[in-house]
Structure 1
Amino acid sequence: MTKTLSLKRFHLGACYYPEQWDKSLWTDDLRRMKEMGFSIIRIGEFAWSIFEPEEGKFEFTMFDDFLEQAAISGIKVIMGTPTATPPAWLTHKYPEVLNVSMEGVTYQHGQRRHYNYSSPVYLELCERITRKMAQHYKDHPAIVGWQIDNEFNCEINVFYSEADHLAFRQWLQKKYDTLEQLNSAWGTVFWNQTYTSWEQVYLTRPTVSGSPNPHQALDEKRFISDNTISFAKLQADILRTEAPNHWVTTNGVFGHLDSHQMTDDLLDFFSYDSYPQFSTIYPDLGDKPLLDRKWSLSLSNVRSMSPNFCVMEQQSGPGGWVNKMEMPSPLPGQMRLWTYQSIAHGADMILYFRWRTATFGTEIYWHGINDYHNQPNRRVAEASHIGQELQKVGQRIVGKHNVAEVALVRDYDNEWDGELDQWHGPLTKQSELSWYKALQYGHIPVDIFMIRPGMESEQQSELSKYKVLIYPHPAILRDSTAAMLQKYVEGGGIVIFGCRTGYKNEFGHCRMQPLPGPVAEMCGIHVEDFTMVNGTASPVSVKFTDQDIDFTAPNFNDILRVQSDTVEVLAHYSSSYYDGKPALTVNRIGKGLVYYWGAAFDLALASELIGRLPVKSPLAGWCQAPSTVEVAVRADAEEELVFLLNYSGEPAEIILSAEAEELLSGSKQTGAIQTEPYGVWILKKEK
Structure 2
Amino acid sequence: MNTRITHLYDRVDGLGFGADYNPEQWSPDVWREDVRLMREAGVNIVTLGIFSWGMIEPAPGEYDFGWLDEVMDLLGDAGIAVSLATGTASPPSWLPRLHPESLPVRRDGVTLHPGSRQHYCPSSPVYRDAAVALATRLAERYGTHPALALWHVGNEYGCHLEECCCEVSAEDFRRWLRGRYGDLDALNAAWSTTFWSQRVTDWAEVAPPRTAPTLTNPAQELDFRRFSSDALLACYRAERAALLELTPGVPVTTNIMGMWRSVDYFSWAEEFDIVALDIYPEPKDPGAHIGAALFHDLMRSVGGGRPYLMMESATGAISYRPPNRPKHPGLNRLWSHQALARGADAVMYFQWRASAGGAEKFHSAIVSHGGSDNRIFREVSGLGAELGALRDVTGSRVHADVAIVHDWANWWALELDARPGELKLPERMLAHYTPLWRENVTVDVVPPDADLSGYKLVVVPNLYLCSDAAARNLSGYVERGGHLLMSFFSGIADECDRIRLGGYPGAFRELLGLRVEEFWPLSEGERAGLSSGGSADLWADHVVLEGASELAAYADGPLAGLPAVTRHSYGAGTATYLGTRPDEDAMREVVRDVLGLAGVSPVLPGLPEGVEAVERAGEDGRRFLFLLNHGDRPVLAAGAELGPHDVVVLRREDV
User: What is the CA deviation profile of residues 444-490 of structure 1, one whole-angstrom value per residue up to 9, with x for unaligned ones?
Assistant: 22221223xxxx4xx32xx2222111102111122211211122112
* Inter-partner Cα distance in structure 1 for 2:509 and 2:277: 38
**How far did residue 595 of structure 1 move?**
0.7
Kept in 2: contact 1:138–1:245 (CA 8 A): no
User: What is the CA deviation profile of residues 150-182 of structure 1, one whole-angstrom value per residue up to 9, with x for unaligned ones?
Assistant: 000112312112211111111112211211211
In the alignment, which residue of structure 2 is the partner of 1:636? 618
1:230-629 map, 5 Å: 230-253=234-257, 254-264=260-270, 266-277=271-282, 280=284, 290-306=287-303, 307=305, 308-321=307-320, 325-395=322-392, 397-421=393-417, 422-423=419-420, 426=423, 428-451=425-448, 456=449, 459-460=450-451, 463-535=452-524, 538-544=526-532, 549=533, 551-564=534-547, 567-613=548-594, 614=596, 615-620=600-605, 624-629=606-611
Secondary structure at the counterpart of residue 641 of structure 2: strand
- Cα 1:296–1:682 change in 2 (3 A) is same
* Inter-partner Cα distance in structure 1 for 2:275 and 2:123: 24
Kept in 1: contact 2:511–2:568 (CA 8 A): yes
Kept in 1: contact 2:81–2:149 (CA 8 A): yes
- Cα 1:576–1:319 change in 2 (3 A) is closer
AA in 2 matched with 1:373: G
* Inter-partner Cα distance in structure 1 for 2:333 and 2:107: 43
* Inter-partner Cα distance in structure 1 for 2:438 and 2:261: 28
Secondary structure at the counterpart of residue 533 of structure 1: coil
* Inter-partner Cα distance in structure 1 for 2:240 and 2:551: 52
Kept in 2: contact 1:439–1:445 (CA 8 A): yes
In the alignment, which residue of structure 2 is the partner of 1:166? 171
TM-score by length of 1: 0.90
* Inter-partner Cα distance in structure 2 for 1:532 and 1:330: 38
After TM superposition, the structure 1 stretch with the greater mean CA deviation from structure 2, 600-609 or 191-200, is 600-609
- Cα 1:685–1:78 change in 2 (3 A) is closer
TM-score by length of 2: 0.94
Secondary structure at the counterpart of residue 228 of structure 1: helix
Kept in 2: contact 1:5–1:310 (CA 8 A): no
**How far did residue 18 of structure 1 move?**
1.2
User: What is the CA deviation profile of residues 77-126 of structure 1, one whole-angstrom value per residue up to 9, with x for unaligned ones?
Assistant: 11101111111111111111111111111111111011111112111111
In the alignment, which residue of structure 1 is the partner of 2:160? 155
In the alignment, which residue of structure 2 is the partner of 1:286? none
User: What is the CA deviation profile of residues 416-469 of structure 1, one whole-angstrom value per residue up to 9, with x for unaligned ones?
Assistant: 112314436615433322222212222222221223xxxx4xx32xx2222111
The root-mean-square deviation of aligned C-alpha atoms, in Å, is 1.8
* Inter-partner Cα distance in structure 2 for 1:476 and 1:29: 50
**How far did residue 60 of structure 1 move?**
0.7
Secondary structure at the counterpart of residue 237 of structure 1: helix
- Cα 1:508–1:238 change in 2 (3 A) is same
* Inter-partner Cα distance in structure 2 for 1:529 and 1:583: 13
After TM superposition, the structure 1 stretch with the greater mean CA deviation from structure 2, 92-101 or 251-260, is 251-260
**How far did residue 220 of structure 1 move?**
0.5
**How far did residue 326 of structure 1 move?**
4.1
* Inter-partner Cα distance in structure 2 for 1:611 and 1:111: 48
Secondary structure at the counterpart of residue 497 of structure 1: strand
AA in 2 matched with 1:258: D
**How far did residue 373 of structure 1 move?**
2.6
- Cα 1:558–1:300 change in 2 (3 A) is same
Task: Determine which of 161, 180, 186 is the counterpart of 2:185.
Answer: 180
After TM superposition, the structure 1 stretch with the greater mean CA deviation from structure 2, 597-606 or 247-256, is 597-606
Secondary structure at the counterpart of residue 97 of structure 2: helix
**How far did residue 263 of structure 1 move?**
2.4
Kept in 2: contact 1:333–1:679 (CA 8 A): yes
* Inter-partner Cα distance in structure 1 for 2:517 and 2:267: 38
**How far did residue 685 of structure 1 move?**
5.0
- Cα 1:199–1:655 change in 2 (3 A) is closer
Secondary structure at the counterpart of residue 64 of structure 1: helix
Kept in 2: contact 1:98–1:108 (CA 8 A): yes
Which stretches of structure 1, 4 residues or longer, exceed 3 Å deviation after superposition?
2-5, 421-425, 427-431, 684-687
- Cα 1:654–1:678 change in 2 (3 A) is same
* Inter-partner Cα distance in structure 1 for 2:89 and 2:583: 40
* Inter-partner Cα distance in structure 1 for 2:568 and 2:389: 51
* Inter-partner Cα distance in structure 2 for 1:139 and 1:331: 42
